[in-house]
Chains A and B, each alone.
Chain A
């Protein structure tokens, strides 16, 4: 193997092992930030040694041993300092030596609980949404700061600082390394799911920048969703989020032209949708049904996505069912964005007038004031009602509000098409 091959192989090992490593260490040292530093130190050691010694048979165990040695060194040093301060002599509290901290106990089934603790800690609501996303990608995805920065289109120092601050906050607020119980668990799980969906959406409908999608982020979110589904298989909302992401991602390769322009749902070549992801999503929905969780917000959104996935053509979409599902979603998760989507479904099921009536009820909704999809939907309905001049105004407004370059240009095109339609409507020839 060349040096490059070795480095690539080490990257692969890191990608597979880092989360488990950090999770196991965090249980030992009770500090996620310190655990991550220890894991990174072990990686540095591996990068120094493995090119000469070759990659060990069990690289995960090797990294864990190296990191534990560092951890014990640090604990000893800390104890020594404390003892000097206190001038007390007593046996160190850390007790077990590295020999007694058997690898097996670190790498057995408990690791699943540790991973779950790590996910809950990284997604703790005490942190901002951006910090949670960055920390999750770093600790659980094994991504470098640079990779996270590129994915979110922010400068690397910004991400680095976000992560440092997040780790400091977790330490200062003494957030316990544990899986929350009872009512708190539901709340905290919601926070975890929110972070995964945020990561997914940042990739699926890039809110800013030149690219409409960044599939790597979607893949990472789905991978973490599958990890979580494996750790918490009885949580219907975890399955709901995973199904939602997989069904949406099944359209990734159909959503853009070769040059990166967005293609909207009705115009997509459905033969390019990914049947494996659709199948996985639909079977997750079956399991959700059996668990009795079909009315959860993510399960409902997944069921809506499944309606599109099942339709062989845009015309065959069951819009009436989608409208019903949106109404159910509005009950469990009231939001003007859900109402707007319901309006779209109603327009498709019962005609543009019915949809427009619902959209107009949202006109003064403060949360939608700068939301480009409100004028975009209104423009679409108006243009279907042949009210081209009004439609053009709405598309122009939507274009000024859209932050994604590709999306903006699509909306500008629609405004131009309305202007054209209006001209031809006025001229009889």
Chain B
């Protein structure tokens, strides 16, 4: 089963647009990444620019509002993710607990939906989506 581990680094919401992880932080994260890869469970991973360099698009009073970062209310924001394929939820949690964390960092473990998780009418509505995602990739 597939899980996404979402990295929610402490202070990422307030980090300046040009903030980059330190060499040490990258090194210890690479060790973790390698351990996932060596165990054969890693499918994909990415790190994200800070939210201050991002844009928020939301619906406010029926209108689409576009706002550039930084944002005022940003406690827990995603800094990166790992997509892993493991045999149980416990295995995903065990991996997450090995992630090198700084004080206040959080890794959120979320299972990826399978088609079987949906009733048939929802599955029907999702038809054709994979094809779109594929041609994009």
Contact = CB atoms under 8 A, between A and B. Distances in A.
Chain A binding surface SS class = helix
Contact of B130 (A115, A222, A226, A275): A275
A273 B41 contact: no
Interface of B: 34, 37-44, 83, 85-88, 90-91, 93-95, 114-115, 126-131, 133-135, 137
A16 B42 CA distance: 13
A8 B83 contact: no
A287 interface: no
A275 B43 contact: no
A12 B114 CA distance: 21
Contact of B95 (A16, A224, A225, A276): A16
A227 B38 CA distance: 5
A274 interface: yes
A272 B44 CA distance: 19
A423 interface: no
A280 B43 contact: yes
Given A15-B87, A16-B95, A223 B40 contact: yes
Given A227-B40, A230-B40, A270 B130 contact: yes
A273 B37 contact: no
B127 A227 contact: no
Interface in A242-287: 253, 269-280
Q: Which 9 A-B pairs have the closest CB atoms?
A: A226-B40, A12-B90, A223-B40, A227-B40, A275-B134, A12-B91, A271-B130, A275-B133, A12-B94
Given A223-B39, A278-B137, A312-B135, 5 more contacts: A222-B40, A226-B40, A270-B131, A274-B130, A312-B131
Interface of A: 8-9, 11-13, 15-16, 112, 115, 216, 219, 222-227, 230-231, 253, 269-280, 312
A248 to B, nearest CB: 15
A15 B91 contact: yes
Contacts of B41: 223, 226
Contacts of B134: 273, 275, 278-279
A274 B114 CA distance: 11
A15 B34 CA distance: 17
B90 A269 contact: no
B66 to A, nearest CB: 29
A279 B90 CA distance: 27
B39 A16 contact: yes
Nearest to B1: A219
B98 to A, nearest CB: 9
A219 B87 contact: yes
A421 B128 CA distance: 33
Nearest to A277: B43
Given A11-B88, A223-B85, A275-B133, A269 B127 contact: yes
Contacts of B131: 270-271, 273, 312
A235 to B, nearest CB: 15
20 contacts: A15-B87, A16-B39, A16-B91, A112-B38, A115-B38, A216-B87, A219-B85, A224-B40, A225-B40, A226-B37, A226-B42, A227-B40, A230-B34, A230-B40, A231-B38, A253-B115, A269-B127, A275-B130, A280-B44, A312-B131
